[in-house]
Amino acid sequence: MKIKALKSFAGKVTMTAGQELNVEDKEMAEDLVNAGFAEEIKVAAKGKA
């Protein structure tokens, strides 16, 4: 899940405010979003050529 940090934080995942990161552990990424530390970045689906 791709997320963007809203504020700096440290732990199993460490990010600075404004940083974007793809977090493989979806549950951890969702926890960060629910806690207000990050927001999910929606990735557009790729179309077939």
Residue 9: its pLDDT value, please?
96
- In tens digits, the chain (49 residues) has pLDDT values of 999 999 999 999 999 999 999 999 999 999 999 999 999 999 777 766 5
Number of domains into which the chain is organized: 1
Residue 47 within a domain: no
Q: Is residue 25 part of a domain?
A: yes
Say if 30 falls within a structural domain: yes
Position 33 in a domain: yes
Residue 48, domain member (yes or no): no
Tell me what pLDDT residue 49 has: 59
Q: Classify residue 46: in a domain, yes or no.
A: no
pTM (2 decimals)? 0.82
> Does residue 26 lie in a domain region?
yes
Q: Is residue 45 part of a domain?
A: no
- Residues 6 or more apart whose Cβ sits within 8 Å of residue 29: 1, 3, 13, 23, 38, 40
Domain of residue 35: give its range: 2-40
